Structure 1
């Protein structure tokens, strides 16, 4: 397994089978151009087997932390430690960038995700409720 940051639109599009919906080239370009955005892809025999994306979040009184935005592993490659390796790679990158911590929101019943994050060193800090606003379709 080889984990490396995606640096081109072509790399992001080649991992399309891992996303929730088909990626758009324009959005992929914007993602890569945005400061603090990172997407690491795990390759097995040259094939994208999983990815993790992170976004640096900066606040005037706290400094910078990394939000683990999304983790996905192709079903064919699950239960091989790829999710844990991707999570650890993102955490290492966050440390290297000077982030003081990293966090992820996980649905309470998502046991596979919880187990993956815990195996990569994350700890539950208590209850968490996420509220959302829906603004319609993506542009």
Structure 2
């Protein structure tokens, strides 16, 4: 990863930072009410990668609580602008989220990606993640439409 790339874990005081991210890093335009809700919910985590003052990568996740087991952590989304891919930014973002999750006492960390997403699958395998098989996803109201 290049020296100019810095990572920033966002908190409630960083709404202006998140709202200043130029379109294209997230799937859709950032919704102010949702951005504020995520940053103020202690179960959500978001890390941005910056090249100078420009946000070039993001990763988000959430602590999942269960009454019968330790907290788990779901990595919800990882993205890097095309101009900055293949520089180790996604790896750094994932490692930061995994470190945060472990520090928060999470004992299971997981994510999912599309079967045909070769770059993502390669990234996660290179990071030592175990790829599982025979997982079937069900959704309601178009949740998996992107």
Cα deviation, residue 44, structure 1: 1.3
1:101-112 counterparts in 2 under 5 A?
101-112=108-119
TM-score (norm 2): 0.87
CA contact (8 A) 2:22 2:55 kept: no
Partner of 2:9: 5
1:85-100 counterparts in 2 under 5 A?
85-100=92-107
1:72-87 counterparts in 2 under 5 A?
72-87=79-94
Q: Whole-Å Cα distance in 1 between the matches of residues 48 and 88 of structure 2?
A: 14
Q: 2:121 aligns with which of 114, 122, 127?
A: 114
5+ unaligned residues in a row in structure 2: which ranges?
Answer: none
Partner of 1:24: 31
Partner of 2:20: 14
How many residue pairs get aligned? The number is: 136
CA RMSD of aligned residues (A): 1.5
TM-score (norm 1): 0.91
